Amino acid sequence: MKKVVILGSGISGLGATYRLQQDGIKPLVFEKDGYFGGKTASFVNDHGFLFDLGPHISFTKDERIQKILAKFVNDEYESLHVKLHNYWNGTWLTHPVQLHMHGLPHDLIVEMVSEFVKEQHGPERKINNYEDWLVASYGRKFAELFPMQYTRKYHTTEANNMCTEWLGPRMYRPSFEEMLKGALAPWNPKVHYVSHFRYPTHNGFVSYLKEFPKMAEITLNHEVMAIDPKKKEIRFSSGVTTNYDSVISAIPLPDLIPMIQSAPREVVEAADLLSCSTCVLVNVSVDRTDLSESHMTYFYDQDICFSRLSFPHMLSPNNAPAKHGSVQAETYFSKKYRPLNKPTDTVIDDVISGLKRSGVLREGDKILAREARVLKYANVIYDLDRAKAIEIVHGYLKEIGIAYCGRYGDWAYMWTDESFISGERAATTVLSK
């Protein structure tokens, strides 16, 4: 094999490179940004606060991936017991809510437990979409107050417009005894899919990729403009053209397909049906550390703009100056369902307002810095158009010999380890040919 080109330098590109290296191949990696890492990148602001491009942690239970990632950071990582909370209507609840309803109004708890029992003992509900699954799993009242509300904020669409393919272990289905126990008193069940996680001690989550430039020839500031699969040629915005024997792409499919010369209309239209959220990440630097007891909190109230908060200073002591704290808020939009039609400064103001309303920030807090970063591609939306569209797009890419990987190549809701493995899988596909 003469030349393997990888488009994208994120965690899936690292996985592909790692696999190719085992066969003695050093790939050429092209990255459109002026830094490598993709969504795994980390940045430090002028006040010395480090923020990742989203709340990245590694909680894989795959021992092989654990060892690989640990080796990449020379075994210098923090190992933390995860703490997760929820905020609803002024009440703080342990995550997941379905196991920790204690603290909610008694009448509401009775109604939710009653509907849960009714659903469990009634006729089996046909599951046509995510809303059906939620009602079957938790009862109508709980489903509407919590996961269906969160779906609107995080996925930007209604639960009845989503399939259930993405769920995996993400949503725990309790027994009656578990739900009742958590409604009567605080307790600590060991059922969540995340119990412990790792985070690099130094330089943020991107540290897991620090060996990447040694493993591949990475060229930055090279955005793909066109791909000719017949000539096996790629043209970049810089005017540079390169040929390839094999190519692996982590480029988001709605961007990739229009770049491919002579892509059939049916495939272009299918790619256009693929939906993904856009995230406005708002990073806030504060003059105190006691901002939260949890590493992450989920927000259900529709009049609070952000769906989730994380606190980077709690992940590593090197993520913020001593005696200072940091908050990262996620606010979601989407081209198809909730367009971003306001300036990012307005989003920042909305976030600050929500932080004060929920008590995360106090009136006397000194905010040292605030900024917003817009991530055009955030989470894949598993709407009802996805399955057919992705079948058409992936089928076409296989026909023309373009391997795909990562969250936006597989077009899947992936965690860090899954993205890395996706890259390995794409490289194996290339090697098999």
CATH, residue 240 = 3.50.50.60
Which residues contact residue 52 at a Cβ distance below 8 angstroms, ignoring those fewer than 6 apart?
Answer: 40, 41, 42, 204, 205, 206, 312, 328
The answer on 370 and 326 residing in a single domain is yes
Q: Is 116 helix (H, G, I), strand (E, B) or coil?
A: helix
Look at residue 192 in the predicted model and tell me its pLDDT.
Answer: 80
Q: How many angstroms separate the CA atoms of 279 and 360, rounded?
A: 21
Any domain includes 215: no
Among residues 299, 269, 341, 374, which one has the least CA distance to residue 53? 374
pLDDT over threshold 70, residue 61: yes
Amino acid found at 114: S
Any domain includes 142: yes
Mean pLDDT of the chain: 96
Any domain includes 158: yes
Any domain includes 211: no
The answer on 196 and 295 residing in a single domain is yes
The answer on 302 and 200 residing in a single domain is yes
pLDDT over threshold 70, residue 96: yes
The answer on 105 and 45 residing in a single domain is no
Sequence-ordered alpha helix ranges (H) in 73-175? 106-121, 130-138, 140-145, 147-154
Among residues 87, 74, 78, which one has the least CA distance to residue 300? 87
Higher per-residue pLDDT: 380 or 238 = 380
- What total of structural domains would you count in the chain? 3
The answer on 81 and 200 residing in a single domain is yes
The answer on 176 and 123 residing in a single domain is yes
The answer on 298 and 162 residing in a single domain is no
Q: Where are the beta strands (DSSP E) in 376-427?
A: 402-404
The answer on 84 and 198 residing in a single domain is yes
pLDDT tens readout for residues 290-343:
999 999 999 999 999 999 999 999 999 999 999 999 999 999 999 999 999 999
Q: How many angstroms separate the CA atoms of 18 and 269, rounded?
A: 34
pTM over 0.75? The answer is yes
pLDDT over threshold 80, residue 87: yes
The answer on 59 and 17 residing in a single domain is no
Q: At what angle do helices 176-184 and 106-121 cross, to 10 degrees?
A: 180
The answer on 171 and 103 residing in a single domain is yes
The answer on 292 and 257 residing in a single domain is no
Any domain includes 214: no
Q: How many angstroms separate the CA atoms of 229 and 249, rounded?
A: 13
The answer on 343 and 238 residing in a single domain is no
Any domain includes 210: no
Any domain includes 295: yes
Q: How many angstroms separate the CA atoms of 327 and 16, rounded?
A: 33
10 Å Cβ neighbour count for 299? Answer: 24
Look at residue 1 in the predicted model and tell me its pLDDT.
Answer: 63
Structural domain for 76, as ranges: 41-95+192-204+277-379
Q: How many angstroms separate the CA atoms of 320 and 45, rounded?
A: 10
Residue 333 contacts residue 282 (beta carbons within 8 Å): no
pLDDT tens readout for residues 173-212:
999 999 999 999 999 898 887 889 999 999 999 999 999 9
Look at residue 433 in the predicted model and tell me its pLDDT.
Answer: 82
Any domain includes 55: yes
pLDDT tens readout for residues 352-409:
999 999 999 999 999 999 999 999 999 999 999 999 999 999 999 999 999 999 999 9
Segment 245-252 shows an average pLDDT of 98
Half-sphere exposure of 115 (CA within 13 A, CB side): 18
